[in-house]
Amino acid sequence: MPTVHSVTYQLLRRQGLSVVFGNPGSNELPFLKDFPEDFQYVLGLHEGVVVGMADGYALASGRPVLVNLHAAAGTGNAMGALTNAWYSHSPLVLTAGQQARSMIGVESMLANVDAPSLPRPLVKWSYEPACPEDVPRAISQAIHMANLPAKGPVYVSIPHDDWGREVAEDAALVTRRDVDHAGTPSDEQLAGLAERLNRASNPVLVLGPEVDAEHANALAVDLAERLRMPAWVAPSASRCPFPTRHACFRGVLPAAISGISGKLEGHDLILVIGAPVFRYHQYAPGRYLPEGAELIHLTSDAQEAARAPMGDALVGGLYATLNKLLPALRQSERAMPEPLPLPQPVPDEPGRLAPESVFDALDELAPKDAIFVKESTSTVTAFWQRVEMRQPDSYFFPAAGGLGFGLPAAVGVQLARPERQVIAVIGDGSANYAISALWSAAQYGVPVVFIILRNDTYGALRWFSRMLDAEDAPGLDVPGLDFCALARGYGVEAVCTDTRDAFESALRQALNATKPMLIEVPTTTIEP
């Protein structure tokens, strides 16, 4: 008879979850026993790195990914990384090994007490099967839940003695299920939306990560050109939904209430597509909307639509919605926006490069289809101004601002997209949260180019300390770090470059390599 183990692997194979990211403990060994040859196990040395790699893989592939964690402690270690996966709508299927069923009630070592409650509220669904026979069905439900809009992580706790249990033949029926989503606004809803857009005198477009996730970027360009709208990227941008050198592109909105209202002043209709309304950060109270402006929100996330403090919302698949909306829109006779001017070069200091100089070199030398994984929070504005991004899936940033995303996510993205070069641009403060991801890159030969911007301080915190009148706060500096030594210790070739010429030479070498390479760059400190 089939077992829970055999049916579950049939299910995973059928659903395309053959790459497993994990850090095993004793509770996970019965699941990993007889690991199939057509599956790949990617080991991370810490659960935060494991989830970060899986997050990057899921974002870049657009498919659910299996993560194998160790009981309560492993889940706890992963929670920081899980905040980013939750806000980026990553379809992670998290499984956690549980103690044997008869040992849970007495709270023996490695028993996960009230396991389904542990990862909430950072998962769409959390469950521990009531009996061994329910395990394959529960994992099937988890996969489909993770992949249905709005996508997101899910969690299943599995007692380790369940895997060897026999199940009935019809348990395999669950392996042949498909669950599809078909949510599209009605013709009447689309007609009403088109009418409001056609009669607007000065509309503006605000685009979010869901546009890029659905590869609706080209439709967003058509929409902007049809209505001659300036196109902003929603605040706290975790993906790039619009080509950054297009005439309509205006940059990334500030993550502040008054800042957004100021940038959108004068527009009578604000169309927000695929982003929350809005992800604020800096405390700068003011009017939610400029005087005389209306807002329309298109999203596949019903929770995002419901919690917005203003505007009207239409919930449905973005690609299908835009595809049906565009033919109903009249070509505007307004003038096209003028392209943003390219920024001027910034001089370097002796022994330290300006981050702007690093980004100018990246823009010149990186492949045109490069994927940038960014986690240097103090250099966000400069990066968006100076690095051209034109294709879908070109940029990934921690969606919740949780540090430790960049290094492992870059490894996961490169594993998912081997045909494109991944370049990780990481701050020195951020890098230390998940430095052991370098080991995984080296062990699996993942040819990411890691660029560490070392300014010896938490640059974004320095800026916030001035904003909050707390410049005397302790713990803002991180001196004494040697990332080349750290990288070599994990098996990654590394070089430190303190001039533009040296950096460009190292970058050319790294781009031509077939293995990971780290470039440490002493930099000046700039503001976000």
**Active-site residues: which are they?**
25-26, 28, 47, 70, 281, 401
Q: How far apart are CA 363 and CA 358, in angstroms?
A: 9
Q: How far apart are CA 303 and CA 446, in angstroms?
A: 37
Report residue 79 as tokens: 């929670």
Q: How far apart are CA 174 and CA 416, in angstroms?
A: 27
- Side-chain-facing half-sphere of 17: CA atoms under 13 Å: 28
Amino acid at 99: Q
Contacts of 451 (CB under 8 A, 6+ apart): 358, 362, 423, 424, 425, 426, 507, 518, 519, 521
User: CA 385, 391, 397, 400 torsion: positive or negative?
Assistant: positive
Q: How far apart are CA 63 and CA 143, in angstroms?
A: 10
Q: How far apart are CA 319 and CA 424, in angstroms?
A: 29
| CA distances for 189 relative to 181, 185, 263, angstroms | 19, 6, 29
Assign 159 to helix, strand or coil: strand
Amino acid at 406: G
Q: Is 215 left (phi over 0), alpha (psi -120 to 50) or beta?
A: left
Pairing mode, strands 249-252 and 203-207: unpaired
Pick from 146, 48, 97: nearest CA to 406: 48
Q: How long a stretch of residues is the chain?
A: 528
Element (H, E) at 68: strand 65-70
- By the 8 A CB rule, do 126 and 116 touch? yes
Eight-class DSSP state of 248 = T
Element (H, E) at 126: strand 125-127
The residue whose two tokens read 């400029």 is 290
H helices within 17-163, ranges in order?
Answer: 29-32, 47-61, 71-87, 101-104, 135-147
Assign 320 to helix, strand or coil: helix
Q: How far apart are CA 158 and CA 27, in angstroms?
A: 9
Q: Which residues pair with 453 in a beta bridge?
A: 427, 521
Contacts of 527 (CB under 8 A, 6+ apart): 378, 381, 459, 463
Pick from 418, 369, 377, 364: nearest CA to 394: 369
